[in-house]
Amino acid sequence: MKKYSLFLLLSSLMFIASCATTPPDGSIKDARKRSSHKAEEISKSDVEAEIQFGQELSARILGKYRMYDDEKATRYINLIGKGLASYSPRPEIDFRFAIINTDIINAFAAPGGYIFVTRGTLKLIENEAQLAGVLAHEIAHITERHIVKELNIKGGDDSAAAGFASILGGGTSETVRAAFTQLIDKAVGILFEEGLKKEDEMESDTLSVLLISNAGYDPGEYKKLLKKMVRNEGKESTKILSETHPSFSDRVASVENLLAEEGLDGLNYAAVKDRYRRYIKF
């Protein structure tokens, strides 16, 4: 890990610890134990392929939306995001977080650790716990390799677009390049048009609730944010989100059931409203 990345990770852990409440031992099922990810099942070449694919997909996302130029807010998002990612089962992934400049309400996860949250979402969010819920949902998409599994992204010769390193280096055949581009096109379609499987989205909500609880944030705030999105359903700002995700009402019901099952309702965990307002200003 690069020196700066290590510093940012340590800073993010201290940042979260400064306000978050430590969960009682054994009170919450560790999000890592709920994860379907098994590190031994993924080869080094598979991880490299995932990261390279994510870089290309991220370039497509940034071709559609411009980055939001606010260094203070971006660093804050990365501090929170990297702190949460430290609770995830993917230590081989260096997560990166960015804000994109659009009023739509959404967030996007590209394989390999690239996460984008929109300015419109940050305007809707009221506190750090809700931000943590959104980032944790996207982290879960990456830790569970939802797009990777959907498109069978691998580093070996049995992949539909084998030899990612040579593709990016310009040394592959037109056939392999075309296959690679086709996979990227499919991933763009998943993010902006078709959406992931309903069970993938529900799994990400489940892991998000557990992840932010493990980090000491109030998981009830994520439910509040989803309820707020119910009220925004049908508006232009939520059009892509509504078309690519299960209904907000279904998601609220699922989260409510999880909170009840895990005994997470009414806990006096952190919401962190003031700090959120200091860093996120529109």
- What pLDDT score was predicted for residue 64? 96
User: Could you tell me which residue, 7 or 204, shows the higher pLDDT?
Assistant: 204
- What pLDDT score was predicted for residue 88? 86
Q: What is the mean pLDDT of the chain?
A: 86
Which run of H or E residues covers position 109?
Answer: strand 107-110
99 CB contacts (<8 Å, ≥6 apart)? 67, 68, 70, 73, 74, 77, 116, 117, 118, 119, 122
- What would the two tokens of residue 35 be? 């994860």
pLDDT above 60 (res 96): yes
pLDDT band with cut points at 50, 70 and 90 for residue 177: confident
Stretch among 9-18, 113-122, 202-211 having the lowest mean pLDDT: 9-18
